[in-house]
Chains A and B, each alone.
Chain A
Amino acid sequence: MPGEFVTIDGNEAAAYVAYKTSEVIAIYPITPSSPMAELCDQWSTQRMCNLWGSVPLVQEMQSEGGAAGAIHGALQSGALATTFTSSQGLLLMIPNMFKIAGELTSTVFHIAARSIATHALSIFGDHSDVMAARATGWAMLFAGSVQEVMDFALIAFASTLEARVPFLHVFDGFRTSHEIQKISQLSDDDMRALIDEELIHAHRRRALSPDRPFIRGTAQNPDTFFQHREAANPFYLATPTIVQNVMDRFAQQVGRQYHLFDYVGASDAERVIISMGSSTETVEETVNWLNAHGERVGAIKVRLYRPFSAHHLVAALPKTVERIAVLDRCKEPGSAGEPLYLDVVAALNEQWEGKLPRVIGGRYGLSSKEFTPAMVKAIFDELAKPQPKNHFTVGIHDDVTFTSLDYDPSFDIEPRDVVRAVFWGLGSDGTVGANKNSIKIIGEETSNYAQGYFVYDSKKSGARTVSHLRFGPRPIRSPYLISKATFIGVHQFGFLERYDVLEQAEPGAVVLLNSPYGPDEVWEHLPKPVQEHIVNKHLQLYVIDAYKVAAATGMGNRINTVMQTCFFAISGVLPREEAIAKIKEAIRKTYGKRGEAVVRKNFEAVDATLAHLYRVEIPQDAPINGMPLPPVVPPEAPEFVQKVTAMMIAGKGDLLPVSAFPPDGTYPSGTTQWEKRNIAQEVPVWEPDLCIQCGKCVMACPHAVIRAKVYEPGLLANAPEGFKSADARWKELHGLKYTLQVSVEDCTGCALCVEVCPAKDKSQAGRKAINMAPQLPLRAKEIANWAFFERLPEYPNFNHLAFNNVKNVQLLEPLFEFSGACAGCGETPYLSLLTRLFGDRIYVANATGCSSIYGGNLPTTPWSFNREGRGPAWSNSLFEDNAEFGFGMRLTLDALAEKARNLLRALSSLIGRPLCEAILNADQSTEAGVHAQRERVAELKARLQTMEMPEARQLLEIADTLVRKSVWIIGGDGWAYDIGYGGLDHVLASGRNVKLLVLDTEVYSNTGGQSSKATPLGAVAKFAAGGKHQRKKDLGLMAMAYGHVYVAQVAMGANDAQTIKAFLEAESYDGPALIIAYSHCIAHGIDMAKGFQQQKLAVESGYWPLYRYDPRLAREGKNPFQLDSGAPKVPFKEYAYNETRYRMLAQTDPELAEALMRQAQEAVNARWKQYAALAGKGA
């Protein structure tokens, strides 16, 4: 019997069963599996019980390796235990997985399958990770839809108890893990019916216990290991039958029948596709359509991939089959074929009777690349060819090795009775949240089935979202994006000139546009391609000024409720009155717990909407008179940017062929400058008459859009009209002009600059030297000003100014600019500072996390270079190995520099002794010294160019290592405190000259705010939903314990001068240095414009003492520890309760919050006492 219908995503479906069937759950965040862990943590905090009436223990670990180890231990001691992971996380579990399987231990790990980082990281879905784990001896059960995820989670659990072979329950990352579907939920009774309690008792009896001791996990010798390894064979042989039996019992219980290999299609098919995961849905849907249109084709849906039962596969195939295409969602370079293909070939060879079908293999869908019915048809067409292409790819255009199959993108099999709606929104406007509500309304309140999938930008500010929603009378089996939409919601008018938003509209579709222009005037403001779409496809256009309605009802920028109401009003999915009632019910359900005021505000928005919604009457002969779309990047952008980057920026990256890409993943630096996003509604405007030229705004700007330059007055001769300047207020720079220029197209409008500006108008205190003003009226003028400003000379970093204070440092060029980090990001000002100080000679090893995403996620990178072509050499290896990765860079630099010095000595008579001596003995302790050395090395290289001998060539290649380089190992607290701590510790211990910069946001920010060991006592975070009960790890103190590590704790918002000092000292120290930088974060729940004020409070409360520990001072007989901030002067609470992460605990459990707040204050007091003693200041 079908159970209760729920509208949930794949992650929730898996987590639901996993939680119900577990006693111990070890977790660690990794996309896209994190929500499974978050849900379990949340349920555990809410004291939800498992099937046996107990609340599972949910424990976060320091890495996936740690989670697997903990689960191994939990299983060995008899618990029902599980974990969730993806991608690199699964790789880190592999060593334990071999053990768990080798010991025949019952467990299920739930995997949202994701790409493994190769030429690039990708968070999206394919089977690279699980295929890398196929040697571990785990069974693998692949689910293809959200319903199957829930079903297979249970089937896997029931099977592993009996089989004793551990199971990976696999489903496609994002496509299934994040797709919302209306499904039938398994009840507790369903689960109990499938689970044999006796098998759980047996699992317990196999556990370690001192009450009946034995040992497991021995070490063996050549005499026994091999034959012992074979002893487990019967278990693997029995597993397929066990799984099939469980599937049969499952069918009896809930009515859904699965097989190890499910065949769908014509019983006499000659062409068959074999695949796993969500592609099986697309293939089945297409097979059914093709057969309904006269074809005779079929498909095998592989459920149990390991142990691979050749017998069951062969039995499932129709005997008529002549051609088989096996699809793998992974790539194994250098192999004879991808894994499933090889398994099928081997199975047929072993088991097929009669003439073997011809088998070809192909790759599809890597990193969530679309896999559509059109591609399925192309594969069947290929199979029909006399010589079908083997080892093909589909879904891309391979113009290098010509593997790809052509397909017709217009091939469309979507049923007409399915509503297909696409919504273009901004992350900040709430579009996705409203659509998730709409799906719930339709899925749970009507007999319709519903599906939702959401495509996100890789930017964290001004990010675009595209929602794909389907509603229809039958279960929806279309796990691909909508290409023919019946409804298109364009929630941002500005998108019209940036994206081809109506491309997907099918003829007669309804278009809802959020427009500042009313029905009578909107037409002339539409770009030409949009007008063409509307006229040619006879689209029905509706407009609403949603921002106006939202503002009037207190919704601010969140137009979600307004647009959702419009959608229901004009889409006809539900009768209007009923729809409005349902929207309000959903609002109460979603927001009710946040208080009546929120509900009321949303209700008001619903009620105010329809009066402002207008149908635009478009005559047949409407003039096509709109503006053409502006170019994506300016014509002066480099060729690669024009050809490749621009396509990605425009959302057309899918169209790029293989040949467009550098095969090794190398990309040009400094490309954010070409991606003018214009996302700020308001931008800072400089008031030269008030400005004291302190440079604080330049330092604070997270996106490096505020720049300062000094220059000769004569250069103003060609300045655009209105270009602002003032006399430079430096004693040393008398006679020069000063300009503070804003790149308004790159600004995110965070207003951090205004907050830090100390200069106020003496007659009107609200006016500062920098103030926010609407961007649009300023844009054209400021674009010209910025272009002129850019051409002004940069101030050289080796000049006579001392770059040890904010005022002077503002003049240095940042080589990290215009990142896609959150507006007002607390991390990026440190990177901007780092590159101003040393950017032309640093290597950056960047741990995976926020900084690697805003630093290296395509299409563009903020890591830039100066006019000499020098800039940070940046790379990301992994999350867990970043300290070691950077350390390797240092080892290379040291090795090559030593080699270069040796070659220099050896060749000195030929090169010229004075030059060689000067290079070898150069003082590079200052930037002037480095500059002089660079000139010497340039001369050296010029001389080497003329020399023929191999040693000269060798030296030429590595001569640049003779100029001082600095290695910066950068990452967040998740890396430094948790997963990468072992490496960080080792690198610090080594004594080598590496600099570690920890951008400490006190949570895993990039994956959505999970607790780390840097999370403070009393704060709420994911995985610490009940508030963190332990103190933050004192990483600085631990590093100081070595004695030879330079350590500093900084907070730019509290003391920018101390921050600069720490960076300079760390860099100049010939040994390991660690800087822990307070980084306010969106995950703190603060007004980001006040981030620096919050940093100041953190310091003033004593929570974040500023200090520097310099081992050089100890060598001089001085106290190496210098405390740079004063004794606590405001209560910790005053700082903490400005932040949602603390406040929300007080709003849910006031007594606990108060107790934790008291402990936190005690911790602050104790630490201050300890630090004051260290500083010799007394307590």
Chain B
Amino acid sequence: MVDLSTTYLGLQLAHPIVPSAGPLTSRLDRIKRLEDAGAPAVVLVSLFEEQIEHESLLLDHYLSYGAETYAEALSYFPDLGSYNLGPEEYLKLIQRAKAETSIPIIASLNGVSSGGWTEYARQIEQAGADALELNIYYVAADIHVTGAEVEQRYIDVLKQVRQVVSIPLAVKVGPFFSAMANMAKRLVEAGANGLVLFNRFYQPDFDIEALEVVPHLVLSTSDELRLPLRWIAILYGRVKAALALSTGVHTHEDVIKGIMAGASVTMLTSELLRHGPGRISQLVRDLSEWMEQHEYGAVAQMRGCLSQRSVANPDAFERANYAKVLQSWRAEPSALAPKS
């Protein structure tokens, strides 16, 4: 039997295939199904401060709209007393998941205000989460804001949260930094126990018939694995933090690549949305078989074997990589033939 166990954010996990934050981790019954299918831990769906604020303002707007205007209809809705507009539902989900499952529960938070980040993080810790993933998302669309300022915001948020909670913290970021490696180092120095690479953002699409910008959600493919793979491989052993590979994990080969790059865990959502929670057990079986076939005794043995510091040609992950791809392409002879 191969040893599939791994450690992530100080949590002992049975294997390295972890459901990431998404619809499948938004409800207790689904979390239980994931546990039943063998998930070693789950990252809960993100608590979005912006959404809480939006829901709150929206409710206020519509409960007030048209009220106290016309004598026969001084309001249009009954007063329901209280509304679950704060993080209560989310905190309840943490509590119930902790109470009714036996796997580690990693919460996820996306804040807006500094007060929101710290307050919600504190409440999440109190609710019993084993660890917290900070889902920091900032589209730097303001032409007056520099890269340095953007980076500093990430660091500030992390530091503030670090000050108020003691559970392990992971930071999930996108790849859009000028100096990803340095950024990773700074995040770890600021208190991150883990880095989750990378956040996968929804990109807007165009409807060219209606001339409209439309939200478009596309599930990931294995092709998308390569970007996080490269950065995990570069960072492995260079930063004192557990690395989680997120995005593009669909097959046991993807899992293996992630571990070989240096990931403590690989995270997936799209694959589970396509095939259901049962896919986890299949992946675990496939991983196990592959390792047996290739005579790996433990995940730990495999981890980082293809990281930048472990490979024979470390520059393959840097500029040379580009050159190699170019050179690997062979033009058809006719295309190169001199014109007559």
Interface residues in chain A, defined as those with a beta carbon under 8 Å from any beta carbon in chain B: 31-32, 34-35, 38, 41-42, 45-46, 123, 174, 178, 426-428, 430-433, 436, 454, 456-460, 463, 465, 554, 558, 591, 593-598, 601, 760, 762, 765, 822, 853, 1005-1009, 1020-1025, 1082-1083, 1085-1086, 1140-1141, 1143-1144, 1147-1148, 1150
Q: Which of B66, B73, B77, B212 has the most CB of A within 10 A?
A: B73
With A593-B82, A601-B57, A1148-B82 given, is the CB distance from A1009 to B77 under 8 Å?
yes
- Provide the residues of chain A in CB contact with B83, threshold 8 Å: 593-595, 1144, 1147-1148
How far apart are the CA atoms of A1007 and B211 in the complex, in Å?
41
Q: 20 interchain pairs (CB within 8 A)?
A: A31-B71, A42-B78, A428-B66, A428-B69, A460-B66, A463-B69, A593-B83, A594-B59, A595-B55, A596-B56, A598-B56, A1006-B72, A1007-B72, A1009-B77, A1025-B80, A1083-B73, A1140-B58, A1144-B80, A1147-B55, A1147-B84
**B50-106 interface (Cβ within 8 A of A):** 52-53, 55-60, 62-86, 89
Q: Are B67 and A594 in contact (CB under 8 A)?
A: no
How far apart are the CA atoms of A601 and B56 in the complex, in Å?
11
Total contacts A-B at CB 8 Å:
153
Select one of B52, B67, B78 contacting A597, CB under 8 A.
B52
Chain A: CB-nearest residue to B50: A597
What's the minimum C-beta distance from A282 to chain B, rounded to whole angstroms? 21
- Provide the residues of chain B in CB contact with A1082, threshold 8 Å: 65-66, 76
Chain A: CB-nearest residue to B83: A1147
- Provide the residues of chain A in CB contact with B60, threshold 8 Å: 591, 594-595, 598
Select one of B76, B81, B211 contacting A46, CB under 8 A.
B81
Q: Which of B69, B70, B71, B89 has the most CB of A within 10 A?
A: B69
- Provide the residues of chain B in CB contact with A765, threshold 8 Å: 211-212
A1082-B66, A1082-B76, A1147-B84 given; name 17 further pairs at CB < 8 Å.
A31-B72, A46-B81, A123-B72, A428-B69, A430-B64, A430-B68, A432-B68, A593-B83, A595-B55, A597-B57, A601-B57, A765-B211, A1008-B73, A1025-B80, A1147-B55, A1147-B83, A1148-B84
In this complex, how many residues of chain B approach chain A with their Cβ under 8 Å: the count is 36
Select one of B63, B71, B76, B89 contacting A594, CB under 8 A.
B63
Q: Are A1022 and B77 in contact (CB under 8 A)?
A: yes
With A432-B68, A456-B70, A1150-B84 given, is the CB distance from A595 to B53 under 8 Å?
yes
- Provide the residues of chain A in CB contact with B86, threshold 8 Å: 595-596
Q: Are A465 and B68 in contact (CB under 8 A)?
A: yes
- Provide the residues of chain B in CB contact with A1141, threshold 8 Å: 77
- Provide the residues of chain A in CB contact with B212, threshold 8 Å: 765
Chain B: CB-nearest residue to A29: B72
How far apart are the CA atoms of A427 and B89 in the complex, in Å?
34
Select one of A596, A598, A760, A1025 contacting B78, CB under 8 A.
A1025
User: Lowest 6 A-B CB distances belong to which pairs?
Assistant: A427-B69, A595-B56, A1008-B73, A432-B68, A595-B85, A1025-B78
How far apart are the CA atoms of A156 and B139 in the complex, in Å?
66
Chain B: CB-nearest residue to A1025: B78
- Provide the residues of chain B in CB contact with A41, threshold 8 Å: 78
Q: Are B71 and A1020 in contact (CB under 8 A)?
A: no
- Provide the residues of chain B in CB contact with A45, threshold 8 Å: 78, 80
What's the minimum C-beta distance from A633 to chain B, rounded to whole angstroms? 23
Select one of A427, A595, A1023, A1083 contacting B59, CB under 8 A.
A595
How far apart are the CA atoms of A1085 and B75 in the complex, in Å?
11
Q: Are B73 and A1085 in contact (CB under 8 A)?
A: no
Select one of B53, B71, B77, B89 contacting A1140, CB under 8 A.
B77
How far apart are the CA atoms of A596 and B56 in the complex, in Å?
8
- Provide the residues of chain B in CB contact with A558, threshold 8 Å: 64
What's the minimum C-beta distance from B74 to chain A, rounded to whole angstroms? 6
Q: Which of A596, A597, A601 has the most CB of B within 10 A?
A: A597
How far apart are the CA atoms of A1007 and B216 in the complex, in Å?
41
Select one of B62, B64, B71 contacting A123, CB under 8 A.
B71
What's the minimum C-beta distance from B64 to chain A, rounded to whole angstroms? 7
- Provide the residues of chain A in CB contact with B59, threshold 8 Å: 594-595, 1140, 1143-1144, 1147
Q: Mark B295-337, 1 if CB is under 8 A from A, else 0.
A: 0000000000000000000000000000000000000000000
How far apart are the CA atoms of A1083 and B56 in the complex, in Å?
18
How far apart are the CA atoms of A1082 and B83 in the complex, in Å?
20
What's the minimum C-beta distance from B41 to chain A, rounded to whole angstroms? 25
- Provide the residues of chain A in CB contact with B72, threshold 8 Å: 31-32, 34, 123, 853, 1006-1008
How far apart are the CA atoms of A593 and B56 in the complex, in Å?
9
What's the minimum C-beta distance from B168 to chain A, rounded to whole angstroms? 27
Select one of B52, B68, B89 contacting A595, CB under 8 A.
B52
Select one of A174, A457, A598, A1020 contacting B57, CB under 8 A.
A598
Chain B: CB-nearest residue to A760: B211
How far apart are the CA atoms of A459 and B72 in the complex, in Å?
11
- Provide the residues of chain A in CB contact with B68, threshold 8 Å: 427, 430-433, 436, 454, 465
What's the minimum C-beta distance from B278 to chain A, rounded to whole angstroms? 23
Q: Are A1007 and B73 in contact (CB under 8 A)?
A: yes
What's the minimum C-beta distance from A209 to chain B, rounded to whole angstroms? 36
Q: Are A1140 and B66 in contact (CB under 8 A)?
A: no
How far apart are the CA atoms of A1009 and B75 in the complex, in Å?
8
Q: Are A457 and B70 in contact (CB under 8 A)?
A: yes
What's the minimum C-beta distance from A854 to chain B, rounded to whole angstroms? 10
How far apart are the CA atoms of A1021 and B76 in the complex, in Å?
8
- Provide the residues of chain B in CB contact with A178, threshold 8 Å: 71
- Provide the residues of chain B in CB contact with A1083, threshold 8 Å: 73, 76-77
What's the minimum C-beta distance from B120 to chain A, rounded to whole angstroms? 11
How far apart are the CA atoms of A1043 and B113 in the complex, in Å?
63
- Provide the residues of chain A in CB contact with B211, threshold 8 Å: 760, 762, 765
How far apart are the CA atoms of A174 and B72 in the complex, in Å?
10
Q: Are B71 and A456 in contact (CB under 8 A)?
A: yes
- Provide the residues of chain B in CB contact with A38, threshold 8 Å: 78
How far apart are the CA atoms of A598 and B68 in the complex, in Å?
18
- Provide the residues of chain A in CB contact with B69, threshold 8 Å: 426-428, 432, 456-457, 460, 463, 465
How far apart are the CA atoms of A698 and B74 in the complex, in Å?
31
- Provide the residues of chain A in CB contact with B85, threshold 8 Å: 594-595, 1147
What's the minimum C-beta distance from B112 to chain A, rounded to whole angstroms? 10
- Provide the residues of chain B in CB contact with A762, threshold 8 Å: 211
Chain B: CB-nearest residue to A1139: B62
How far apart are the CA atoms of A432 and B67 in the complex, in Å?
9
- Provide the residues of chain A in CB contact with B76, threshold 8 Å: 1005, 1008-1009, 1082-1083, 1085
Q: Are A1148 and B80 in contact (CB under 8 A)?
A: yes
- Provide the residues of chain A in CB contact with B56, threshold 8 Å: 594-598
Chain B: CB-nearest residue to A39: B79
How far apart are the CA atoms of A45 and B67 in the complex, in Å?
22
Q: Which of B57, B71, B78, B212 has the most CB of A within 10 A?
A: B78
What's the minimum C-beta distance from B118 to chain A, rounded to whole angstroms? 14
Chain B: CB-nearest residue to A1081: B76
**B252-281 interface (Cβ within 8 A of A):** none
How far apart are the CA atoms of A431 and B67 in the complex, in Å?
11
How far apart are the CA atoms of A1009 and B76 in the complex, in Å?
5
Chain B: CB-nearest residue to A31: B72
How far apart are the CA atoms of A1161 and B314 in the complex, in Å?
57
What's the minimum C-beta distance from A665 to chain B, rounded to whole angstroms? 20
What's the minimum C-beta distance from A62 to chain B, rounded to whole angstroms? 19
- Provide the residues of chain B in CB contact with A1024, threshold 8 Å: 78
What's the minimum C-beta distance from B216 to chain A, rounded to whole angstroms? 16
How far apart are the CA atoms of A263 and B55 in the complex, in Å?
56
What's the minimum C-beta distance from A993 to chain B, rounded to whole angstroms? 33
Chain B: CB-nearest residue to A1022: B78
What's the minimum C-beta distance from A180 to chain B, rounded to whole angstroms? 12
How far apart are the CA atoms of A847 and B74 in the complex, in Å?
21
- Provide the residues of chain A in CB contact with B53, threshold 8 Å: 595, 597
What's the minimum C-beta distance from A680 to chain B, rounded to whole angstroms? 16
Chain A: CB-nearest residue to B80: A1148
What's the minimum C-beta distance from B314 to chain A, rounded to whole angstroms? 48
What's the minimum C-beta distance from B212 to chain A, rounded to whole angstroms? 7
What's the minimum C-beta distance from A88 to chain B, rounded to whole angstroms? 13
Q: Are A1008 and B75 in contact (CB under 8 A)?
A: yes
